[in-house]
Structure formats: C-alpha cells, structure tokens
Amino acid sequence: MNVESFKQYSLEKDMRTALQENQFFLHYQPRVETTTGKIVAAEALIRWSHPEWGIISPGEFIPLAEESGLIIDIGDWVLDEVCAQLSKWQEEGIQIVPVSVNVSANRFLRNNLTEAIQATLEKYQIDSSFIEIEITESTMIQYHDAVFRTLEQLRDLGIKLVLDDFGTGYSSLTYLKKFKFDTLKIDRSFIQNLDTNPEDQAIAANLINLAHALNMNVVAEGVEQISHLERMKKKQCDQIQGFLFSRPVDHKEFAEKLKKKIIK
Ligand code: C2E
Ligand code: CA
Ligand code: CA
Ligand code: CA
C-alpha cells in the first residue's frame, strides 16, 4: 500500500472511534454583509484532530464517511455541537447569528431529518431561525422526491435553506424553479479569477441578478481579494464569505468577532 491509500484505510477505520472520543471539532466562518462588513451568519465547518495524522480537513474524510455511512452520525454530531455552541453563546450574552450546517445527500435518505433537527433545537432551546441548512445541487439530483419533501418540512419549521456551490452542478435552473431556496451561494470557482476572466465576471453578475429576480439572498464564496469584494459590491451581491474577511476560526475566535459585530 502507498502512503495515501494507507492513510485512507486508517482514517476510515479510525472514524468511529473519533466520534466516540470527541476528536471532531468545528470551525466557524463568518458571512458578512457586503456593504457594511457586518457579520450576518456563519458556516460551521468540521475538522478532525487525529492522534497520529494531525488536523484533517473535511475534503479528506467526508467522502470516506459518506461511503461508510458514518456521515449520518457525524451530521447529527455537527448539528448537536452547533446548537450547544449557540446556546452557550446566548448564555454568555453574546448576540448570535444564524449558523449554517452542511447536510450530505445521504442524510436525506433517512426520513427523520426534520424530526432530528427539531429535537436538537428543542434540546438546546434554539429558535429555528438560527439554523440554516446547506445542500448542493448534486443532492437535489440524487434523491429527488425525498429531498423536496424534506426541504418543505424544514422550511415549514422555519429553517432557512441554502443552495451551496451554485453553478457547479447540472440543470441547476430547474431546481430554482421547483423549490424556493432562501439563499444561493455562488461557487468559489466563479470568484477566484474574477479580475482576469470576463466569463466569470459575466456569470457572477448574472447569477446575482437571477437570485434577486427569484427573491433569494446571494452569497459570493471564496472572496480573497479586495478587488473581488469591490466587484461583488458593484453588482449588489448581498453577502460575502471568504478569506478576505476571515478564514474559518474556532469558537473562541468567532465569539470575539461576534462581539465586535463588524469585520474591517
Ligand atoms: P463548502 O461547503 O463549499 O465549504 C466552503 C469551503 O471553502 C471550506 O473548506 C472553507 O474553508 C473554504 N473557503 C472559504 N473561503 C475561502 C477562500 O476565500 N478561499 C479558499 N481557497 N477557500 C475558502 P473546508 O472547511 O475545507 O470544507 C470543504 C468541504 O467539506 C465543504 O465545502 C463541505 O462540502 C465539506 N464539509 C465541511 N464541513 C462539513 C460538515 O460538517 N458536513 C458535511 N457533510 N460536509 C462538510
Ligand atoms: Ca457549504
Ligand atoms: Ca460552498
Ligand atoms: Ca464545495
């Protein structure tokens, strides 16, 4: 076995223990209002502190968790952790913002997603307006009917729905017609070369118009440069998420940012 496949093998093997031994933790990345720099929401992003391999990014282990099915338990852990954290911040008198959670396609196959979320919100006494669910276009394609039913239940519960990585999947426009998302996230691949690529400029500008025409909020992901921010501001993109304002940070650092409210 080469190092990579050995690593994959051992990660898959260690993942269940990781959940029991609390090796997973969350980072929070602010989403800011484009015009003011005010933090209006955050995205919860999982990390794994592995005893031998160090910090492992989700890009490396989430696909493995999806294969093994452990993604269901990991997803439940993420939601519980987010609600617990929101509840702690509220107790500390910190003014919280909605936190979005990435939900894998597999999770929509289980029909108790709505009930599970509702139970967790009640457990921590968190209002449903403080949780957002991010799903990707590929989720919509894979599990069509089950997904639509569940999305409608979640919306009835008062949970905001975010269509993630927009523009990278297939027949995305059909989904916009069939289901009303609250927020659309323009994928980073359209943002990273904004300064030099006229095609990306045209796509980003038109995705913003499209989102607004359909009454959705629009977020530009992966904003790293001031020039990207300026361009998105000009095109009236509502919110920005990216390293320019902040990398994903741990809960302590995020709480400090929440106290300041505005990122300069
Ligand atoms: P995503 O949902 O598209 O999350 C955004 C990713 O872009 C994050 O990577 C974030 O750190 C990164 N990012 C944000 N701003 C910038 C920027 O300005 N420049 C660059 N280069 N990158 C930026 P991360 O945390 O490594 O997560 C990767 C993916 O793993 C996520 O992509 C998501 O698909 C998945 N993931 C993360 N946490 C979870 C989770 O709790 N559950 C599930 N099912 N998937 C998760
Ligand atoms: Ca996401
Ligand atoms: Ca994304
Ligand atoms: Ca992505």
pLDDT in tens, the chain (264 residues): 788 888 888 888 899 899 999 999 999 999 999 999 999 999 999 999 999 999 999 999 999 999 999 999 999 999 999 999 999 999 999 999 999 999 998 888 887 899 999 999 999 999 999 999 999 887 877 767 788 889 999 999 999 999 999 888 766 688 888 888 999 999 999 999 999 999 999 999 999 999 999 999 999 999 999 999 999 999 999 999 999 999 999 999 999 999 999 987
Kindly give the distance from the C-alpha atom of residue 46 to the centroid of ligand 1, in angstroms, as a whole number: 8
Kindly give the distance from the C-alpha atom of residue 2 to the centroid of ligand 2, in angstroms, as a whole number: 31
Q: Given ligand 1 and candidates 27, 57, 62, which is best to mutate, with the most ligand atoms within 8 Å of its CB?
A: 62
Nearest atom, ligand 1, residue 26 CA: 41
Q: Strand pairing of 54-56 and 183-186?
A: unpaired
Longest dimension (CA), the chain: 53
User: Residue 238's pLDDT is what?
Assistant: 98
Nearest atom, ligand 1, residue 185 CA: 3
ipTM score above 0.90: yes
How far lies 136's CA from each of 104, 121, 133, 247, in Å?
8, 23, 10, 21
Q: Given ligand 1 and candidates 68, 102, 109, 224, which is best to mutate, with the most ligand atoms within 8 Å of its CB?
A: 102
Q: Strand pairing of 131-136 and 183-186?
A: unpaired
Kindly give the distance from the C-alpha atom of residue 164 to the centroid of ligand 3, in angstroms, as a whole number: 5
Nearest atom, ligand 1, residue 104 CA: 44
pTM for the structure as a whole: 0.96
Q: Strand pairing of 217-221 and 160-166?
A: unpaired
First to last CA, the chain: 48
The strand ranges marked E within the chain are 24-33, 39-50, 54-56, 99-102, 131-136, 160-166, 183-186, 217-221, 239-241
**Which amino acid residue places its CA nearest to atom 8 of ligand 1?**
45
The neighbouring-strand residues paired with 174 are none
Q: Is the CB of 104 under 6 A from ligand 1?
A: yes
Q: Is the CB of 30 under 6 A from ligand 1?
A: no
pLDDT tens-digit series, residues 31-89:
999 999 999 999 999 999 999 999 999 999 999 999 999 999 999 999 999 999 999 99
- The b-or-e profile of 110-141 (16+ CB within 10 A means b, else e) is eeebbebbbebbeebebebebbbbbbbbebbb
Kindly give the distance from the C-alpha atom of residue 186 to the centroid of ligand 2, in angstroms, as a whole number: 11
Kindly give the distance from the C-alpha atom of residue 93 to the centroid of ligand 3, in angstroms, as a whole number: 30
Helix axes 3-20, 71-91, angle to 10 degrees: 50
Q: If you write DSSP's letter for every residue of 73-114 in order, what string do you get? A: HHHHHHHHHHHHHHHHHHHTT-----EEEE--GGGGGSTTHH
Kindly give the distance from the C-alpha atom of residue 136 to the centroid of ligand 4, in angstroms, as a whole number: 8
